Amino acid sequence: MDKDLQKLLSNLEPDIDKKCFELRQKSKEKKKQKLFIIAIFIVLFMPSTLIMLNINIWGFIIAGISIIALAIIIMLPIALKENTRGECYE
């Protein structure tokens, strides 16, 4: 019986590894989605925060460009990621 169990486990090992990899990828994608949502909120609430703090327009422009650049840098790897499952998101 022990030999049968070992044979079964050795046969299932590639599938288990594949599923673990998929779960890790899904976890990474969820983290990146949360980070993107936070970046969107920052971009949306930055103008009102700057107005309340009485910061001039140049500070607003510099802050806006900085946040947009940061969001692009963070999201660029996701946008350029090669789709290995053959699905199309267009």
Domain map (residue ranges) of the chain: 2-80
Cα 14 vs. chain centroid, distance in angstroms? 26
Cα-Cα-Cα-Cα dihedral sign, residues 28, 29, 35, 38: negative
The identity of residue 61, as a single letter, is I
Check the CA dihedral 42-48-50-53 and report its sign: negative
Q: One digit per residue, pLDDT tens: the chain, 90 residues?
A: 678 888 888 888 888 888 888 999 999 999 988 988 888 888 788 777 777 877 776 777 888 899 899 888 888 877 777 655 555 555
